[in-house]
Structure 1
Amino acid sequence: MIENTPKLFIPGPTEVDDRVRIAMAQRVIGHRTKEMTELYGGIVEKMQKLFNTDHYVFVFTSSGSAVMEGTIRNLAEKDVLHGACGAFSKRWYEMSLANEKNADLVWADWGKAVKPEMIADAMEKKKYELLAQIHNETSTGVKNPTDEIAKIAHENDTLIAIDTVSSLGGDMIDVNKYDVVIASSQKALALPPGLAVAIVSEEAMEKSKKTRNKGYYFDFVRMLKRFEKSQQHPTTPSVPLLYAMDVQLDIMLEEGMQARYERHLKMREIVHNWVKKRGFELFAEKGYESVTVTTITNTYGISIKELNEELVRRGLRISNGYGELKEKTFRIAHMGQLTPTDIMGLLDTIDEILEAKGVY
């Protein structure tokens, strides 16, 4: 058994409430039973209530990346436009290429946001079936203006799917403005890894019905048919993770999405104020900072690896920069079930470490 694991301030996986962990220890039920119908049907209903939508909700046993790829296969036979500004949104573009789609990329440089006019310019030149747009880029801490981008997509008769893997459940997102909203369990939803969510519009379902060669497991139509028949999955899901999601949704509903959003804003404010006070810099473009994760420029040139090793010895963990940003930046997640008190405790500990090293 792994013991003495540090408290996580990384952008996934995140901390899991003890009530959620205990729920996973229940006896497993059959996936073709009335108990499963009650469990999964209840989860879908709670998800729709939490995010104020009557769009279809599908919960897959998979990573968020898998549903990102599945969305491409459901909604595009040929032409896909990607709005990207970091490692994970670029990976979505690479998924389209791997599935032999005619994919084009609108790229905003590291730390910058994809602007609506960039998407509009690309759509003036070509007709697309699908716009795959990042909402919250975990590698750079950038939040993109997806509401405005969605308007442009729909004005051009193009479906829009957004990646909210690291923001849904923390940021305030009107899911009804999009055709597919994709999220993972292990980030702002504060669940263990292993589940992914797709919130799907009627227009997207109609497109999926007409799309060929979309595979089996992530077929939205197949998921809907089975749900309408029995409120179950076409294949066997992870029952313990569904137990966990059921309890976590109760926790989130009790808090309320507005209060949850305000808590996330407060945690971001604490981190941003610390960054400025200590002489670091925010990596994200001003006005486009993520609500759930802050990427910080390593202005002092310290060893992020060594800082994190010392934090782990003290029972805490943050994230180094991702990919080519490693050691150039570091990331502090303020998402899920973390509180302002947790964040202040982390920052005080970082101060102790850096002051002892004579950094400031």
Structure 2
Amino acid sequence: MEHDLNLDKHLLFTPGPVNVAETLRTAICKEDICHRETDFDDLLAGIEHKLLSLFQIRNRERYRAVVITGSGTAANEAILSSVVGNGAILILSNGEFGGRLHKTSLIHNKQTHLIEMPWGVPFDVAQIAAYLLANKIDVVAMVHHETCSGMLNPLAQIGALAKACGALFVVDGVSSVGAEVIDMEACNIAFVSSSSSKALGSYPGLSFVVGRKKQFKRLKRHAAKTTYLNLATFYAFLKTHSQTPNTPAVPLFFALDQALTDILHEGVLMRYARIKARADLLRNGMRRLNLDFEIDEADMCSVLTTVRVPASVSVHDLRARLREKSIIIYEGKGCFAGKVFQVGNIGELSDDDIRYFLSTLKDVLLTLQADTADLVIPVRPNQTPPAVLPVPVPAHVRVVS
């Protein structure tokens, strides 16, 4: 395969940032406009309309979307600092980004509760239900797709539990929006956050919050805990002026608008199916290389696969060798460091790019294994794929109030 000889860019097999489409490269270079003129008003209004279409919201008049200049963490902090007030919030965490929600909430909310599972271990829904019955909780917050493991957490079940106890349900959708169905109405989601640079396929630097209009209106009841990330202020400027309260990164708004236009032109469900097909192509190819996955495929998101490293291979060396071939992957973090690598399949990646990745991965693994004396679990591309190993027995669940 001569694919690598013709590459003039890195192939970003990551969950974000991603390789962007040429339409976005053109959009980001549009003529300069002032953010306090009607040109920007129209641009922001168009983005909001397209975001509501992306979420396939049926009762559109009941929802609004604000856009923030800042990464997905900015949108999450805007929610966590704005919606709780003096109430109690329960954070559900089974990974790095659930932990980040908890850390952020502790800064802004005195009554922050935590149910924590080990990374990559599904939530115990019965345990959450019991906790909600035993404690007065006003807000439940959860990460939809935990990027550290690739796990997709259940929206409908947790949303139903929150509704039953009269709590708001807020969701970190930073790495799932644009790749997974998120039915805000059916899942009782009050607010969901996301980012421009992951499954939407745009440049980093923008985030947004989509939420129920009545919940946006209620934010003004709470004393402000931040200045820049006060969600009530963003909503007030959107409603009154169709603008943002602070100077926005206007070129990124042009790019986000184009990314949403491209998605809607393709069709939301068609896009989801295409991303899932890419994931399947990658996973089938890696199974043929005798590689095992960290979590069960039934729990995986469509954007990312977390792969166990063969015993004789260093993750650092694997990543470095792939980079020499213009392929960028993630190394595992935290408790997964040195044990796994992660492969994304979003952004402008073609099927040929994926086949090039699989061919290169095979060659690199064989080379690295040949360089070591311990040839444990050698790559055997013609072997019948083994069953995915089960998730290890969880450690003790930690519940903090």
Both proteins in one fold, TM over 0.5: yes
Question: Within the alignment, does 1:92 sit opposite 2:96 as a pair?
Answer: no
Pairing 1:1-360 to 2, within 5 Å after superposition: 5-53=9-57, 54=60, 55-77=63-85, 78-176=87-185, 177=187, 178-357=189-368, 358=370, 359-360=378-379
How many angstroms does 1:243 deviate by?
Answer: 0.7
How many angstroms does 1:268 deviate by?
Answer: 1.7
Q: Which sections of structure 1, spanning at least 5 residues, go unmatched?
A: none
C-alpha separation between the residues in 2 aligned to 1:49 and 1:100? 33
C-alpha separation between the residues in 2 aligned to 1:207 and 1:101? 20
C-alpha separation between the residues in 1 aligned to 2:360 and 2:14? 16
Kept after mapping to 2: 8 A contact 1:70/1:214: no
* Aligned partner of residue 287 in structure 1, secondary structure: helix
* Aligned partner of residue 123 in structure 2, secondary structure: coil
**Percent of counterpart pairs with the same letter?**
28
Kept after mapping to 2: 8 A contact 1:190/1:336: yes
C-alpha separation between the residues in 2 aligned to 1:160 and 1:252? 27
The CA deviation string for residues 231-251 of structure 1, in whole angstroms up to 9 with x for no partner, is: 111111000000101111111
Kept after mapping to 1: 8 A contact 2:68/2:74: no
Kept after mapping to 2: 8 A contact 1:74/1:207: no
C-alpha separation between the residues in 2 aligned to 1:45 and 1:206? 19
C-alpha separation between the residues in 2 aligned to 1:50 and 1:107? 31
AA partner of residue 50 (structure 2): K
Q: CA RMSD in A?
A: 1.8
The count of corresponding residues between Structure 1 and Structure 2 is 358
Kept after mapping to 2: 8 A contact 1:113/1:285: no
Q: Which sections of structure 2, spanning at least 5 residues, go unmatched?
A: 1-6, 371-377, 380-401
How many angstroms does 1:300 deviate by?
Answer: 2.9
How many angstroms does 1:225 deviate by?
Answer: 2.1
How many angstroms does 1:285 deviate by?
Answer: 3.8
How many angstroms does 1:70 deviate by?
Answer: 1.4
AA partner of residue 195 (structure 2): S
Greater shift in the superposed pair: 311-320 or 135-144? 311-320
TM-score by length of 2: 0.85
AA partner of residue 151 (structure 1): A
How many angstroms does 1:272 deviate by?
Answer: 2.3
* Aligned partner of residue 295 in structure 1, secondary structure: strand
* Aligned partner of residue 299 in structure 2, secondary structure: coil
The CA deviation string for residues 86-108 of structure 1, in whole angstroms up to 9 with x for no partner, is: 11111110111122432111112
* Aligned partner of residue 298 in structure 2, secondary structure: coil
C-alpha separation between the residues in 1 aligned to 2:290 and 2:311? 8
Larger gyration radius, structure 1 or structure 2: 2
C-alpha separation between the residues in 1 aligned to 2:110 and 2:344? 34
* Aligned partner of residue 175 in structure 1, secondary structure: coil
